[in-house]
Structure 1
Amino acid sequence: MNMDFVTFLAQSKDPSWWHTHTSVCFKGDEYQPLFFTLLFDQLKHYNALPYEKKRLDLTTTEKKNVHAMLGQSILGSTVLYWLGDFEKDIPEKQKVDFYTLVKTYQGPHRISFFVRQESKISLPPHTINVILPQPLTQDIQRHSITFFSPTMLPQKQEVLLQHLLTMTNLQLDTLCMLINYVDLINIKQLPEFTHYLSHITTHQPSLSALAEYFFSLNASLFFQLWAELEKEYSEMFWIAFWTEQLWRAHGVITYLRNNDFVHAKQISYRLPFSFIKNSWKNFTQDELHNLFEQLYTLDYRIKTGNASANALALFFFFYFYTKGPQKNH
Structure 2
Amino acid sequence: MSLICLLEQPNLILQKPVSYFLGTEFPLLFFSYFKKRLKEVISVRAIDLEEVKLNDLKAELSLTFLGNKSLYWFGNIDDCSSKTKDDFFSLIKNYSGPNIIVFFTTEDLVRIEIQKFSCEIEKNNIQKLSEFLQIKYVDRVLKNAENLKLDQIILLSLYSNVIGSRSKEFVDIWQDKIIKTESSLFTLSSLFFTKDKKRFFEYWLKIKESYQDTFWTVFWLDQSFRAYWFLKYKNDKDFKNMKKISFKLPFSFINSDFKKNSLEGLSLLQGAIFQADCFLKQGLGQDNLEYSLVKYLNS
Taking structure 2 as the reference length, what is the TM-score of the superposition? Answer: 0.56
Correspondence list, 1:128-139, <5 A: 128-133=115-120, 136-139=121-124
- C-alpha displacement of 1:94: 4.4
Letter in 2 for 1:6: I
CA distance in 2, matches of 1:90, 1:207: 25
Root-mean-square deviation (Å): 3.6
Give the SS at the match of 1:185: helix
Shift of 1:52: 0.9
The answer for the alignment partner of 2:76 in structure 1 is 85
Matches of 2:152 and 2:170, distance apart in 1: 21
**2: CA distance, partners of 1:158 / 1:62:** 45
Query: Is the Cα–Cα contact under 8 Å of residues 43 and 71 in structure 2 kept in the other structure?
Result: yes
Question: Could you tell me which of 56, 62, 65 is aligned with 2:53?
Answer: 62
Local SS of the residue matching 1:76: coil
Give the structure 2 partner of residue 33 of structure 1. Answer: 28
Query: Structure 1 pair 223/120, CA: closer, same or farther in 2 (3 Å)?
Result: same
Runs of 4+ in 1 over 6 A off after TM superposition: 205-208
Instruction: Could you tell me which runs of 5 or more consecutive residues in structure 2 were left unpaired when the two chains were aligned.
Output: 187-210, 216-239, 250-280, 282-299
SS in 1 for 2:30: helix
CA separation of 1:200/1:72 partners in 2, compared to 1, >3 Å: closer, same or farther? same
Distance 1:176 1:39 in 2: 12
* Unmatched runs of 5 consecutive residues or more in structure 1: 209-220, 226-260, 274-327
The residue number in structure 1 matching 2:64 is 73
Match of 1:296 in 2: none
Cα separation, partners in 2 of 1:58 and 1:76, compared to 1, 3 Å: same
- Check conservation: 1:53, 1:82, Cα contact below 8 A: yes
Distance 2:44 2:63 in 1: 16
Report percent identity of matched pairs. Answer: 23
Secondary structure of the corresponding residue to residue 100 of structure 1: helix
Q: TM-score normalized by structure 1?
A: 0.51
Shift of 1:80: 0.5
> What's the CA shift string for 1:202-248, capped at 9, x where partnerless?
2237999xxxxxxxxxxxx99965xxxxxxxxxxxxxxxxxxxxxxx
After superposing the two structures, state which structure 1 stretch, 98-107 or 114-123, moved more: 114-123
Instruction: Label 1:90 to 1:189 Cα distance change in 2 as closer, same or farther (>3 A).
Output: closer
Q: Tell me the amino acid that sits aligned with residue 137 of structure 1.
A: E
Residues 137 and 65 of structure 1: CA distance in aligned 2, closer, same or farther (over 3 Å): same
Deviation at 1:105, TM superposition (A): 0.8
Q: How does 1:45-56 map to 2 (within 5 A)?
A: 47=40, 50-56=41-47
Q: Count residues with an aligned counterpart.
A: 203
Structure richer in helix, relative to its length: 2
| Structure 2 residue matching 1:66: 3-state secondary structure | helix
Q: Superposed, which structure 2 residues align to 1:1-329 within 5 Å?
A: 3-12=1-10, 14=11, 17-44=12-39, 47=40, 50-86=41-77, 88-119=78-109, 121-123=111-113, 127-133=114-120, 136-150=121-135, 152=136, 156-164=137-145, 168=147, 170-188=148-166, 190-192=168-170, 194-204=172-182
**Structure 1 residue 162 displacement after superposition:** 2.2
Q: Secondary structure at the match of 2:50?
A: coil
